[in-house]
Structure 1
Amino acid sequence: MELPEQASTGPQDAIARLPHEWEQTVTSWGEPAYRGRQVFEWVHRHGVLDPAEMSNLPKALRARLAEDGVSWPLELVSSHVSDDRTNKLLVAMPDGERVETVLIPQLQDLSVVTQCVSSQVGCAMGCVFCASGVAGLKRQMSAAEIVAQVLLGRRELESDQRIRNVVFMGMGEPLHNYEALARALVLLTHPDGIDLSKRRVTVSTSGLVRQIDRLGRDFGGQVQLAVSLHAVRDEDRSAIMPINRKHGLDELMACLRRYPLSKRQRITIEYTLIKGVNDSVADANAMVSLLRGIPVKVNLIPMNPISASDLRAPDASHVTRFQERLTQRGMSVFVRKTRGDDVAAACGQLAFHGEPRRTRHTSSRG
C-alpha cells in the first residue's frame, strides 16, 4: 500500500518516519542515505532515541539529531501490576492527555507477551459497556504515539520477555483513526525495526464498514481482524453500540463476507456477555444463523464491571451454557480469561480516572 508521506512535524513525530523518509531527512543534512536507515534501526529495532548512544553514526550526525532529530512523544506516568502479572501502563503525552496500554504475559509461558495498545484519547463510539468512551473522543493519537507505546512497553519487560503480539484493543476505535493506524501497522511490522509478524497484529473494530473494506484492501490476508459484535439483533445492538444505527448487522455481515482472508485465516468475533441483555440460548442460536458462511472464531468475554454502568456479566453457568450451544452448532468458541481486572486493565476497563501517582503499584488482593 502507498502511505502518505510523513509530514516534517518535529522530533516527537520522528518515530513515525519510515526508512526512506529518514534517508530523505539525513541527505537533506548532507549525510549519505544509508545513515537514515541506521537511524531507523536504532529507534525501532533497539529502542534507542538518544543520539549519543547511536554508536555507529558520525559525530556530526549525532549532534544534528540531538538538535532536531527524534524524541519520545509520551512518557510513563505509572505502572500497575496485577496478581496475574498483567501490567497496565499509564502514559502521558506532551499536551497532558493520557492513555493506557497493557502488557499481558501468557499464563503458559510468561516470556511471551501480548501488548494491548490505544489508538485514540477516549472514543467516539459510545458503547455502553466500555469505559473508554464515557468521556467521548478527546483527540486522535498520532502514529508516533501509537508505536511509542510498544517501544516503551519493551522497556518495561523482564529480561527474558518479548512482545510477540500487538492488539489494537485499548482505548479508541482504531479504524476511526485510519491514517495513523495504517502507518503504525507498517512501522510495527517493518523488518528493519520491531519486525512483528503481521499475523501477530490484530485490529479490533466496532464495525466501521467502509474502513473495514479499506483495511481489507491495504492489509487483508495479513494482519488479523477482530469485530466487536456483542448483540445479534439490530434493536439490541443499537441499544448498546450506537455505531449499529449507522451500519446495521446486514451491512456489517455483508462486509465481513467480502473481507479478504488468507487460506487458514478467520475473523475473530468478540462478544461481551451481559446479564439479561445478550446471554440467552436464543441469542446463541441467532448468532449461529447470523455468522453462517463467514470464517470466524468466537471470543466470549464475560463483561468486566465499569463504574459508569450497572451492567454485569452473567454467572459462570450461563457463560458455559452459551458456549456449549455455539459449540454444539459447530462454531469455534473460546471464553476469554479475564486478565488484569484487579487493576482495571481488563477488556472494556481502560480509561483515565483522576490524577495518578508516579509510583509502581503491585496488587495484593487475595
Structure 2
Amino acid sequence: MNMDFNVKKLVGEAGNFISRAVQMTEEVIYAGEKTNIDPQLERLCKQGDEAKNWTQRICKDTEAVLVPNPGYRAEDFLMEKIDKKRPTRMSNLECLGQGMIDSGNEFGSSAAYGSMLVKVGTAELKVGQTEKEFITSAVTSFVNPLARFLENEVKNATRERKILENRRLDLDSAKNKLRKARSMSSGPPTKDGQDPRVMIQQAEREVIAAQSEFNSQTEICKVQMEILMAARDRHIENLKSFVQAQTTYFARCHQLMLDLNRELDIMPLHSVNLSQSFSIDDSQEDMAGTESNNLQLRAKVMYDYVGKAPQEISVLANEVVAVHECPEDTEFFIAQKGSLRGRIPKACVLLL
C-alpha cells in the first residue's frame, strides 16, 4: 500500500512538473499573461543575485591567491567533499628553503657560500611557515564565512524563490481555468454533464486558494531575501579580518628579510683569504708610517662613490675595503683597495 502511495505521489509530482514546464514554455513563446511579482521583492531578488554572483567570484579569486596551483585546489575541494583532511604539503618557499639548507650543508659550513645558503634557507623556511599561517587565517576569517553564506542564506533564498515561481504558475493556471469556465457560462452543460456555473464556482475557489498561497510565499521570500542581504553586509568584518591577516603576513615577512640582511652583512667570509685581499706593498707601508697598524679594520661600501680630489679613490657598492682613521679629516677614512689607496667618506661605508 505504501508502495502504491509512493508511486502515485511520484506520478503526481511528475505530472505537475511537466504541466508547469509546458506552461512556462507557452508564456515564453506566446507571451501569455502571468502574475507579476511584487516590485520590492523583485529588487531584493536582483540584489540577491548580484550578491551570489560576486561572492562566488570573490571566493574563487581569493582561493586562487591563497593556493595558486589549480591541481592542489581541485584536490582540496575533493578532500572537503568526501570529508577528509587536506593533505599537508610544503609550500614553494619551504621547498626553496629546504633545498638551500640541504645544499649548504653539502658544501660545508666552512665555505662562505655553504654557510650563507643555510642562513638564507632557514629564513625562507620561516617565510614559508608565515605564509601558511596567513593562508589558514585568511581561509578561517574570510573564505569560510563567504562559503557558508553561499551554502546557507543563498541556497535557502534560491529554494524559496523556486517555490514562489511554482506558486505563481499554479495561480496563473487557476486563473486560466476560471477564464475558460466563464467563457462557457452561457453555453449548455458539458458533455460529462457539468454545470458551467458549478465549474465557475470551483475555479474561483481554486484561484482564491492559489492566490493565498502565492501571497504567503511572497512574504516568505521577502523575509528570506532580507536575511540574505543582512548576512552579506556582515561580510564587512570578514573583509577587515582578511586585510589584517594580510598586513600581519607582509609585516612578518619584511621583518624576517631585514633580520636576514643584517645577519648576512656581518657573516665572516670564511672562504676568502683576507690577508691576500688587503695586503699592502712594502713601499706603500713605508709611506703610511705608523698608520699601517690600523689596516685591520674592514668596511663594506654601501653605495658607489667617485673620488673628487687627487687624494681620494673611487669605490663601488658592496665592495669590502680595508680602512683606518684619517688624521687630517675625521669625516673620511683612508681606504686600501688592491693597489689603490686614498680617502673615502665614512658615510658611504659600514664597518664590519
TM-score by length of 2: 0.20
Which structure has greater helix proportion?
A: 2
Which structure has greater strand proportion?
A: 1
Kindly indicate whether structure 1 or structure 2 has the higher relative contact order, using CA contacts under 8 Å at least 6 residues apart. 1
- The structure with more radius of gyration: 2
TM-score by length of 1: 0.19
